[in-house]
Amino acid sequence: MVRVDGKGNTGALVQVRSLDKTYQRGSQEVHVLRGLNLDVERGEFVAFMGPSGSGKTTLLNLLGGLDLPSRGSITVDGDEITHLSGPKLAAWRARHVGFVFQMYNLLPVLTAFQNVELPLLLTRLGKADRRRHVEIALDLVGLSDRLDHYPRQLSGGQEQRVSIARAVVADPTFLLCDEPTGDLDRKSAGEVMALLERLSAEFGKTILMVTHDPRAAERAGTVLHLEKGELVEGQGGS
């Protein structure tokens, strides 16, 4: 069950309570998130929708420990990440979060293999183990024949699949995807969504995804809308 009323049970994987995020723009304060609540249980696939500028990326950044809220708390798997800082937060991200961005964000100087290997460099795995994990991950996204290709030698859809492989290779607690199909044509977008769906259904991955694309949102178990700094359920709103 996904809840947005702040009354979820304590066992939920992700618990967000009274989350505020305010940006300072000159002398003006921009309240992006206002008292936002969210409970997501393990294995759920949630899509966030909302107009541009409504704060979807902001929310995702907070959930991924890339930024700190102005107020409120985020607890993931029992860790209150809003209390972590610096190196601890970095270590937490490495262990628990897999990121997928709209622009893929692969390192152009590294091959597909090396890009996927990056998160594993932060683990204690030896070289052989890293290789095995990377090969499994790239096989999962259907790119085992592209190990030595550089990002510029791949199509957009392939790049995004490499970045999904990078996101799952260290077996994180959850995946955060910010408009993963936003820059793809319809066919590639379909492939990427099928892949995410499979990760959710077959591997029980918890996925939180921001999207503008109703067809992509359809694949998620739950669709939430960000309105006036809060999340609301259902197909209402924009």
Partner 1 sequence: MKYFRLVWSNLLRKKTRTTLTIGSFAVALFLFGLLVTIQTAFNQGVEVAGVDRLVVRNKISLIMPLPLSYEEQMLQIPGVKAVTFATWFGGYYQDPKNFFPQFAIQKETWLKMYPEFQVPKDEWSAFLADREACIVGRKTAQKYGIKVGDRIPIVASIWGGVWEFNVRGIYTGARTEDDTTQLWFRWDYLDERRQWGKGTVGWYVVRVENPDDAMAVAKAIDERFANSSWETKTDTERAFAAGFVKQMGNIKLLILVIGGVVFFTLLLVTGNTLAMSVRERTGELAVLKTLGFTDVAVLWLVLGESLLYSAQGGILGLAAVKLFTLHGDPTGGFLPLFYLPPSKMVLGLLVALATGAAAGVIPAVLAMRLRIVDALRRV
Residue with tokens 């991955």: 205
* CB-nearer residue toward ligand ATP: 65 or 119: 65
Using CB distances below 5 to 8 A depending on partner kind, what does residue 122 bind out of ligand ATP, Mg ion, partner 1, none?
A: partner 1
* CB-nearer residue toward partner 1: 3 or 21: 21
The SS3 assignment for 145 reads: helix
Which residues share a beta bridge with 224?
48, 233
Q: Give the Cα separation of 120 and 133 in Å (integer).
A: 9
* CB-nearer residue toward ligand ATP: 67 or 135: 67
- Establish if 99 lies at the interface with partner 1 (CB under 8 A): yes
Contact with ligand ATP (CB under 6 A) among 7, 10, 25, 28? 25
Residues in the chain, total: 238
Q: How far is CA 96 from CA 20, 53, 107, 155, 168, in A?
A: 23, 27, 21, 28, 10
Using CB distances below 5 to 8 A depending on partner kind, what does residue 86 bind out of ligand ATP, partner 1, Mg ion, none?
A: partner 1
- Among 46-54, 86-94, 107-115, 229-237, the segment contacting ligand ATP (CB under 6 A): 46-54
- Establish if 211 lies at the interface with ligand ATP (CB under 6 A): no
What DSSP line would sit under 89-144, residue for residue? HHHHHHHHEEEE-TT----TTS-HHHHHHHHHHTSS--HHHHHHHHHHHHHHTT-G
Closest separation between CB of residue 24 and ligand ATP, Å? 7
* CB-nearer residue toward partner 1: 72 or 119: 119
Using CB distances below 5 to 8 A depending on partner kind, what does residue 72 bind out of partner 1, Mg ion, ligand ATP, none?
A: none
Q: How far is CA 1 from CA 7, 41, 76, 80, 222, in A?
A: 11, 6, 16, 21, 9
Residue with tokens 């993931």: 76
- Establish if 32 lies at the interface with ligand ATP (CB under 6 A): yes
Residues making contact with partner 1 (CB under 8 A): 61, 64, 66-67, 86-87, 90-95, 99, 101, 103, 105, 107-110, 114, 118-119, 121-122, 127, 166
